[in-house]
């Protein structure tokens, strides 16, 4: 599935089951909440915190998908084509950083 197809699928779902999009501000807040849920899993899986019983059923992939969902909602609401935005962002990063990381001693030392 392409990013555009995913955006279309989210839009179709919202129009079929969701009645309408939440406001942009509500979706921004939900996005922040979802990123926090991902951070919680990351801190417990890869960081120093231990899992609480309520954390054990959380799923890393599902939390990442939740973030994608809400981001696509925001993109649809604001008229952003994420495919074009992503491609433009990759070009920007490549032009800006094509030598930066290769020449970073912190990354190239074993």
Structure confidence at residue 13 (pLDDT): 98
Question: 29-64 pLDDT, tens per residue?
Answer: 999 999 999 999 999 999 998 988 877 778 999 999
**For the chain, what is the domain count?**
2
Q: Judge if 55 and 106 occupy the same domain.
A: no
Q: Judge if 64 and 35 occupy the same domain.
A: yes
Q: Judge if 66 and 93 occupy the same domain.
A: no
Q: Judge if 16 and 45 occupy the same domain.
A: yes
Q: Judge if 75 and 91 occupy the same domain.
A: no
Q: Judge if 96 and 65 occupy the same domain.
A: no
The pTM of the full predicted model, rounded to 2 decimals, is: 0.89
Residue 66 pLDDT level (bands cut at 50, 70, 90): very high
Q: What string of DSSP letters covers 2-57? A: -HHHHHHHHHHHHHHHSSSPPPHHHHHHHHHHHHHHHHHHHHHHTSSPPPPGGGTT
């Amino acid at each position: 599935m392409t990013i555009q197809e995913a955006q279309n699928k989210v839009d179709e779902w919202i129009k079929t089951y969701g009645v309408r999009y939440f406001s942009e501000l509500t979706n921004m807040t939900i996005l922040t909440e979802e990123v926090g849920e991902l951070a919680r899993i990351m801190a417990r899986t890869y960081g120093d915190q231990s899992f609480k019983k309520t954390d054990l059923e959380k799923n890393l992939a599902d939390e990442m998908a939740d973030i994608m969902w809400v981001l696509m909602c925001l993109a649809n609401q604001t008229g952003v084509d994420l495919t074009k935005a992503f491609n433009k962002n990759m070009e920007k990063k490549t032009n800006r950083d094509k030598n930066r990381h290769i020449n970073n001693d912190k990354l190239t030392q074993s």
